[in-house]
């Protein structure tokens, strides 16, 4: 790009979310070196004086390595760590204890320190939580107190022809919950962090079938045209944590739909708590049945519209 344009993206030492640590001009190419942090004093005026004849701009990020460390910090406080060669901390000739192995039939706990995480592409275990990844990508989670959740992580796609705020399924909906293929990949194997990527491929309808010439009327069904969507779920277990971390990502190329993430409860719930405009609303489990009997009891749910290029239509 024009180097003058490149300079317009520089704010202090910040460039594209990182910080300039060095720059040079060589054979008509301006090269920035950037990193997450910098202690270099950068003067953009010095750079402007050196960019005559520059026709190309390169940005190189400094190489860095991310490592996991189990560090104890005080409540509401902080601590300081620094990397050090192993020989400075440990006697290389001293025998090292073997890591704890987690037997599948029992739970190993320690009152002194968290146990290491063990894992493969099917099972993650840190002594507090054991996660088993089924062939269909769903999770079986067991806590050391015996609490068990089976079938967690189901992805459910369905049609939605409501407006920005209200869900409204098409009259003839197509709900997709089964993937066409499932792959698992071990990302980290411990001992502090273990993580597995579960990639499930689905075929979701591309959009709803609008009624030609009547955009104000919600669609009656979903199109037959399908998009192949890969949903990646990162399953992560860390030493000392009594829960599982999940991250779900996918490239959304479909319209007029909603995607839900299902996690069954270990025991039935007596009520639910839902976010409202100005408060958290507590609802009994039989609210859905009462709405069927008396729709006027919750009239706002009936004021559904349809998203469209011309805006929301009640």
pTM greater than 0.85: no
Provide mean pLDDT across the span 45-52. 82
Considering only CA atoms, which of 199, 197, 191 is closest in space to residue 125? 191
Q: Cα–Cα distance between 246 and 265 in angstroms, integer?
A: 16
For residue 310, is pLDDT > 50? no
For residue 297, is pLDDT > 60? no
Which pLDDT band holds residue 200 (cuts at 50, 70, 90)?
very high
Note the pLDDT of residue 211.
66
Note the pLDDT of residue 229.
96
Look over the chain and give the mean of its residue pLDDT values, rounded to a whole number.
81
Which pLDDT band holds residue 215 (cuts at 50, 70, 90)?
low
Considering only CA atoms, which of 184, 168, 68 is closest in space to residue 135? 184
Strands 29-35, 56-61: pairing is: parallel
For residue 237, is pLDDT > 50? yes
Which pLDDT band holds residue 101 (cuts at 50, 70, 90)?
very low
Note the pLDDT of residue 125.
92
| Least confident range of 159-168, 190-199, 289-298 | 289-298
């Amino acid at each position: 790009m024009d180097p003058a344009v490149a300079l317009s993206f520089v704010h202090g030492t910040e460039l594209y979310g990182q910080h300039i640590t060095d720059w040079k001009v060589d054979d008509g190419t301006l090269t920035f070196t950037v990193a997450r942090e910098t202690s270099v004093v950068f003067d953009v005026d010095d750079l402007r004086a050196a960019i005559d004849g520059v026709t190309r701009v390169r940005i190189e990020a400094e190489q860095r390595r991310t490592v996991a460390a189990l560090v104890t910090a005080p409540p509401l406080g902080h601590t300081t760590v620094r990397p050090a060669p192993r020989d400075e901390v440990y006697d290389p000739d001293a025998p090292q204890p073997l890591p704890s192995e987690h037997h599948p039939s029992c739970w190993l706990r320690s009152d002194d320190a968290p146990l290491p995480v063990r894992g493969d592409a099917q099972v993650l275990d840190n002594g507090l939580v054991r996660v088993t990844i089924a062939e269909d990508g769903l999770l079986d989670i067991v806590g050391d107190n015996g609490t068990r959740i089976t079938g967690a992580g189901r992805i459910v796609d369905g049609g939605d022809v409501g407006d920005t705020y209200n869900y409204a399924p098409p009259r003839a909906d197509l709900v997709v919950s089964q993937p066409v293929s499932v792959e698992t990949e071990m990302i980290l194997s411990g001992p502090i962090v273990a993580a597995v990527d579960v990639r499930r491929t689905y075929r979701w309808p591309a959009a709803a079938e609008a009624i030609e010439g009547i955009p104000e009327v919600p669609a009656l069904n979903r199109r037959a045209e399908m998009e192949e969507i890969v949903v990646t779920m990162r399953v992560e277990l860390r030493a000392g944590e009594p829960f599982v971390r999940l991250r779900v990502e996918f490239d959304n190329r479909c319209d007029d739909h909603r995607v839900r993430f299902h996690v069954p409860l270990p025991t039935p719930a007596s009520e639910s708590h839902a976010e409202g405009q100005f408060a958290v609303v507590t609802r009994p489990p039989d609210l859905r049945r009462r709405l069927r009997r008396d729709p006027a009891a919750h009239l706002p749910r009936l004021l559904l519209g349809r998203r469209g290029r011309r805006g929301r239509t009640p």
